[in-house]
A = this chain, B = another copy of it.
Amino acid sequence: MDATPSYLEQLIAGGLLLPTGVAGLYGRSQIFERVVEAIDALVTRTGGGDGAEVLRFPPGLSRRDFEDSEYLKSFPQLAGTVHSFCGDERAHREVLRCIEVGEDWTRDQAATDIVLTPAACYPVYPVLARRGALPEAGYLIDVQSYCFRHEPSLEPTRMQMFRMREYVRIGTPEQVTGFRALWLERGEALVRTLALPHIVDVANDPFFGRAGRVLADSQRVQKLKFELLIPVNSTAQPTACLSFNYHMDHFGQIWKLAGRDGATAHTACVGFGLERTALALFRHHGFEPAHWPSPVQSVLWPSA
């Protein structure tokens, strides 16, 4: 038996995460939240001069929009659909009986119109498509929300519910590739000011099944997604804390996002994993932010 506590065990013993009995689902302490808020605010300061439109969505999106997004083609195993009890009093008594005796009571739960958000930008595209033709300059959107991915794990960096902060760009291919190139620079600079070791690499997403291997290869070859990786759980397998995604005209086609000239919009987004970046800071600088290197504290809490 390995006597060294895992990073998750250390985080729980240190009071930063509170176990709920479900792998990948944790409460957060005040210190943990202060760090998450500081990272979020740092991202705002980094991108704040660009005039992004701030939108905030609950942690769910329309099931219809989710079906249209084709997420289920690539990652059916990660998605979370929300189901509810829609029965009568007799069915209700049966639910209670099942719970009483430890039988499965969830089989008759019916799917609602809501699916949990898999990435913060998913609700953005259909909502903006409803506004009609894109403005000349396209859109630049600032979003943040809790996301869900069904991948129970004992790695603290692989939570089932976590927050993602994103900037989303919608416009011409030039506009969106320029945006992504800018944020690749900004993202690396930001992580450097936090004194975190990192590399940038093409992404390796867990596409489902054999057909998924083709999608994964294509993603890599076309360099559609870069990740900024920081060693957190291990040096050999660093954790993707930021991602830089170019969707080409995938979402533009699906939701008929187009300019006044009728050209289908391209989209890109940069995503900050807020919990993952916080966990990287705790791993490299310790569990007590007041003892972090002062340049790092100054970057995160400039007015303190």
Residues of A within 8 A of B (CB): 18-22, 25-30, 32-33, 53-65, 67, 72-73, 76-87, 89, 92, 95-96, 99, 104-106, 109, 111-114, 116, 123, 126-127, 130, 146, 148, 150, 152, 159-162, 208-211
Q: Please indicate the chain B residues that have their CB under 8 angstroms from the CB of A95 in the complex.
A: 72, 76
Evaluate contact between A55 and B76: CB separation under 8 angstroms. Answer: no
The contact of A92 among B76, B85, B150, by CB within 8 Å, is B76
Evaluate contact between A28 and B53: CB separation under 8 angstroms. Answer: no
Number of copies: 2
A62 with B20, Cβ < 8 A, contacts A79-B85, A95-B76 known: yes
The contact of A127 among B27, B30, B63, B87, by CB within 8 Å, is B27
Evaluate contact between A65 and B208: CB separation under 8 angstroms. Answer: no
Interchain CA distance A27-B59 in the complex, whole Å: 10
Give the shortest distance, in Å, between A23 (CB) and chain B (any CB): 8
Interchain CA distance A139-B18 in the complex, whole Å: 16
Instruction: Name which residue of chain B comes closest to A111, CB basis.
Output: B106
The contact of A85 among B67, B77, B152, B160, by CB within 8 Å, is B77
Give the shortest distance, in Å, between A123 (CB) and chain B (any CB): 6
Give the shortest distance, in Å, between A48 (CB) and chain B (any CB): 12
Apart from A20-B123, A27-B127, A82-B83, list 12 A-B contacts with CB within 8 A. A19-B130, A22-B63, A25-B114, A27-B57, A28-B57, A33-B54, A33-B56, A72-B96, A79-B85, A82-B82, A83-B111, A89-B210
30 A-B contacts (beta carbon < 8 Å): A19-B130, A20-B57, A20-B62, A20-B126, A21-B64, A22-B63, A22-B64, A22-B113, A22-B114, A25-B58, A25-B113, A25-B114, A67-B99, A73-B96, A76-B87, A76-B92, A76-B95, A78-B84, A80-B83, A80-B84, A80-B114, A81-B82, A81-B106, A82-B148, A89-B208, A89-B211, A92-B208, A112-B150, A112-B160, A114-B148
Evaluate contact between A161 and B92: CB separation under 8 angstroms. Answer: no
- Of A29, A114, A209, A210, most buried by chain B (CB within 10 Å of CB) is A114
Interchain CA distance A92-B105 in the complex, whole Å: 24
- Of A19, A54, A58, A208, most buried by chain B (CB within 10 Å of CB) is A58
Evaluate contact between A127 and B20: CB separation under 8 angstroms. Answer: yes
Interchain CA distance A99-B69 in the complex, whole Å: 11
